[in-house]
Chains A and B, each alone.
Chain A
Amino acid sequence: MNDTPDVTRDAPVVEVRGLSKWFGEVIAVNDLSFTIGRGVTGLLGPNGAGKSTFIKLALGLYRPSRGTLRVLGGAPRNNLDVLRRIAYCPETDHFYDNMTGFEYVYWLNRYWGMGKKDARAATESACELVRMADRMHDPIDEYSKGMRQRIKLAQCLGSRAELLFLDEPMAGLDPRGREEIFALIGRLGDEGYSVIVSSHILYEIERVTDNVVLMYNGSILARGRIHEIRDLIDEHPHTITVETPDPRALSLQLLHPGAMSVEFEEGKLTIRTRDPAACYEKLNDMVLENNGPAIKSIRCADDDLQSVFAYLVEK
């Protein structure tokens, strides 16, 4: 196999064939085969799905237990030609002790082979980009979670790598910070960079790309456009639990064509429906018009990714 990176426009940035990785008896990634093209791609899956392991395999931090993986046309592990073209923002918060944000980014820039002057300029630009310029000379120990996240992003932006791996980059950011990172990733995509973003939150991925890879239990569950996932969520039965003193009376009023089943408990009604919007509409009307049994609380138990995955697995 030729390990020289492929620099053609049509070549996929990541190409995986029969890739598996296990640690002892735990299979973290199981027989993956797919390709990721240029642009922004979301790696979506619940915790433990194997997203981080896949990213670490793609970065060459792990050796595949089985199968092959090529990044920008080459095997990534200890391949400096590939590593020169990729960058990584880790999920976990680990920094060098006693360093300012500037120094942290500066020294990591030096590891790209930059001279002092270039590294300094690249650090300043990267910190500016993530809006950390005013705090970059403060010790990292004094940073908030969001600032740490930004400075981690800055360290991987200094390199002008054409493929960026961002592992849960929005974790710990406040809403404004998230919006800024969404915008930044969008701009990176617009300017020709390839970005692979992992997250377990559908909404986050939806904000940055339409192109997703769904992982679950170490396997690829689905690949495609995000609206297709959305459709799956809408198709799959939702479970809505309503606390009310009279569940039976309420169930009669909530009946609608999409309803699949109802369950009664003491002071509680659980309804499974394929048309949650219709169900919520009826509930809203009842509350507003005050024409039914009292409603103490409404809880949607599974409007999350986990239930979508469970649904897809069952399907």
Chain B
Amino acid sequence: MTEEPIAAPHAVLLPPAPPERAGYFNYFRAAYGHATVMMVRRMRVVMAAVICLLPVLIPLATAFLSRDRFAQEGAVQFRMLVEHAHITMLAPLLALFFGSMLIGEDIEARNIPYVLTRPIPRSAWVLGRFGAYLTVTGTILLLSIGLTFASSTSLARFGVSATNLGILAQYSAVAVLALLGNGAVAVFLGALTKRPIIFGVLVLYGWQQLAMKVPGVIDFFTIQKYTDAMLPALASERGMQTSPAARDALLEFTREVYAVGAAKACITLLLISAVFLGLTVLVVRARQFASARAIGA
């Protein structure tokens, strides 16, 4: 064989060559940095932050406006707010808002060919973006939980103590895990479907809410089951939020709740997240994102 390797093109015209084979972390950092910049630059992040910070006002409103403010225990209100607002409502909402659009936005705006024609490992791209999602949403949610904790100290029998800080830490960890689990599902929907928001609403709110009320073990197929299982034992009336009409309709059923331990729940949630992120990578590799509009017609 007399074939000779191609000499590198002249360096006169073009910029310096990229590294021959960059490390995985280099690609991860590129995806992470790019996604973070894209997320924090939007007004949407302000909108999300405003909505997430609303619970902070509740203890303050109770302290200064409520007729029976002296009867309100700060611990009860803090727990109720974090469980109902931050973990059950806001974490899936942030997942839906940012997670489903992590890849969905590139598909919708048709920027994805730029990425898929570059030598970035698809997993590094997905994980980098997911890391950015966790950073941005985690910052918003933890800030809100922290401020809610602080504002709850204005209520009776609640102050900054080691026990309460421990509770705060535990809730914060559960909130991050809720963002992780819900976000992994949302990012998968974003890569798989054209309208991730609609399917996200149906899955994260429609399906989860329904499955948590239906008797049997169907609630094992939700994220909320595992986040609930990791909450402190004193949690406020979890599982009793069912409307009176629905409760009546379900009265004849014996709803057995199969409890899951916190450690098992944590492992399951990590596993669910890993599975959905893995599926997302597979979808990114398998789908033909450039859409049939490219037929030139």
Residues of A within 8 A of B (CB): 7-11, 23-24, 26, 28, 47-53, 56, 59-63, 78, 80-81, 83-84, 86-88, 90, 92, 94-98, 103, 107-115, 118, 121-126, 129, 155, 157-160, 162, 187-188, 191-193
Which one of B13, B19, B38, B119 lies within 8 Å of A191 (CB-CB)? B13
Q: Is the Cβ of B116 less than 8 Å from the Cβ of A113?
A: no
* Given known A155-B114, A160-B14, contact A97–B7 (CB-CB < 8 A): no
* Given known A83-B118, A112-B18, contact A61–B5 (CB-CB < 8 A): no
Q: Is the Cβ of B34 less than 8 Å from the Cβ of A110?
A: yes
Q: Is the Cβ of B117 less than 8 Å from the Cβ of A191?
A: no
Q: Which of B22-30, B47-55, B66-74 lies at the interface with chain A?
A: B22-30
What are 6 of the A-B contact pairs (CB < 8 Å)? A53-B294, A107-B33, A113-B30, A118-B18, A123-B15, A191-B14
**C-alpha gap A163/B219 in the complex (Å):** 53
Residues of B within 8 A of A (CB): 3-7, 9-10, 12-23, 26-27, 29-31, 33-34, 37-38, 41-42, 109-111, 113-122, 125, 285, 288-290, 292, 294-297
- A-side contacts of B10, CB under 8 Å: 191-192
Q: Is the Cβ of B13 less than 8 Å from the Cβ of A187?
A: yes
Q: Is the Cβ of A160 less than 8 Å from the Cβ of B117?
A: no
Which one of B6, B20, B122 lies within 8 Å of A162 (CB-CB)? B6
Q: Is the Cβ of A26 less than 8 Å from the Cβ of B292?
A: yes
**C-alpha gap A118/B26 in the complex (Å):** 12
Kindly provide the distance from the CB of B18 to the nearest chain A CB, expressed in whole angstroms: 4
Kindly provide the distance from the CB of A55 to the nearest chain B CB, expressed in whole angstroms: 9
Among residues of A, the one whose C-beta sits closest to the C-beta of B288 is A62
- A-side contacts of B17, CB under 8 Å: 159-160
Q: Is the Cβ of B118 less than 8 Å from the Cβ of A9?
A: no
Kindly provide the distance from the CB of A86 to the nearest chain B CB, expressed in whole angstroms: 7
- B-side contacts of A10, CB under 8 Å: 3
Among residues of B, the one whose C-beta sits closest to the C-beta of A59 is B117
Q: Is the Cβ of B15 less than 8 Å from the Cβ of A122?
A: yes
Kindly provide the distance from the CB of A39 to the nearest chain B CB, expressed in whole angstroms: 12
Among residues of B, the one whose C-beta sits closest to the C-beta of A81 is B119
Q: Is the Cβ of A51 less than 8 Å from the Cβ of B113?
A: no
Which one of B7, B9, B13, B37 lies within 8 Å of A107 (CB-CB)? B37
Q: Is the Cβ of B292 less than 8 Å from the Cβ of A23?
A: yes
- B-side contacts of A188, CB under 8 Å: 13
Among residues of B, the one whose C-beta sits closest to the C-beta of A77 is B285
- B-side contacts of A63, CB under 8 Å: 288
Q: Is the Cβ of B113 less than 8 Å from the Cβ of A59?
A: yes
Which one of B115, B119, B290, B294 lies within 8 Å of A84 (CB-CB)? B119
**C-alpha gap A88/B117 in the complex (Å):** 7
Kindly provide the distance from the CB of B279 to the nearest chain A CB, expressed in whole angstroms: 16
Which one of A23, A80, A155 lies within 8 Å of B295 (CB-CB)? A23
- B-side contacts of A61, CB under 8 Å: 113, 116-117, 288-290
- A-side contacts of B294, CB under 8 Å: 52-53, 56
**C-alpha gap A10/B3 in the complex (Å):** 7
Q: Is the Cβ of A111 less than 8 Å from the Cβ of B115?
A: yes
Q: Is the Cβ of A122 less than 8 Å from the Cβ of B292?
A: no
* Given known A8-B4, A26-B295, A59-B117, contact A121–B13 (CB-CB < 8 A): no
Kindly provide the distance from the CB of A6 to the nearest chain B CB, expressed in whole angstroms: 9
**C-alpha gap A131/B20 in the complex (Å):** 27
Q: Is the Cβ of A111 less than 8 Å from the Cβ of B118?
A: yes
Which one of A7, A95, A98 lies within 8 Å of B42 (CB-CB)? A98
- A-side contacts of B125, CB under 8 Å: 111
Q: Is the Cβ of A8 less than 8 Å from the Cβ of B5?
A: yes
* Given known A111-B27, A187-B13, contact A83–B295 (CB-CB < 8 A): no
Q: Which 3 A-B pairs have the closest CB atoms?
A: A113-B22, A125-B15, A110-B30
Kindly provide the distance from the CB of A182 to the nearest chain B CB, expressed in whole angstroms: 15
- B-side contacts of A47, CB under 8 Å: 296-297
- A-side contacts of B27, CB under 8 Å: 111, 113
- A-side contacts of B34, CB under 8 Å: 107, 110-111
Kindly provide the distance from the CB of B248 to the nearest chain A CB, expressed in whole angstroms: 49
**C-alpha gap A63/B38 in the complex (Å):** 30
Residue among B30, B33, B111, B116 with the highest chain A CB neighbour number at 10 A: B30
Q: Is the Cβ of B3 less than 8 Å from the Cβ of A9?
A: yes
* Given known A111-B27, A155-B114, A193-B9, contact A97–B288 (CB-CB < 8 A): no
Among residues of B, the one whose C-beta sits closest to the C-beta of A193 is B9
Kindly provide the distance from the CB of A289 to the nearest chain B CB, expressed in whole angstroms: 47
Among residues of A, the one whose C-beta sits closest to the C-beta of B31 is A111
Q: Is the Cβ of B9 less than 8 Å from the Cβ of A114?
A: no
**C-alpha gap A192/B9 in the complex (Å):** 5
Q: Is the Cβ of B111 less than 8 Å from the Cβ of A94?
A: yes
Q: Is the Cβ of A95 less than 8 Å from the Cβ of B111?
A: yes
Among residues of B, the one whose C-beta sits closest to the C-beta of A103 is B37
Kindly provide the distance from the CB of A235 to the nearest chain B CB, expressed in whole angstroms: 27
Q: Is the Cβ of B12 less than 8 Å from the Cβ of A191?
A: yes
Kindly provide the distance from the CB of B24 to the nearest chain A CB, expressed in whole angstroms: 10
**C-alpha gap A160/B19 in the complex (Å):** 10
Q: Is the Cβ of A94 less than 8 Å from the Cβ of B119?
A: no
Which one of B6, B15, B30, B113 lies within 8 Å of A157 (CB-CB)? B15
Which one of B7, B117, B292, B297 lies within 8 Å of A87 (CB-CB)? B117
Kindly provide the distance from the CB of A89 to the nearest chain B CB, expressed in whole angstroms: 10
**C-alpha gap A87/B100 in the complex (Å):** 28
Q: Is the Cβ of B109 less than 8 Å from the Cβ of A96?
A: yes
Among residues of A, the one whose C-beta sits closest to the C-beta of B125 is A111
Residue among A61, A126, A187 with the highest chain B CB neighbour number at 10 A: A61
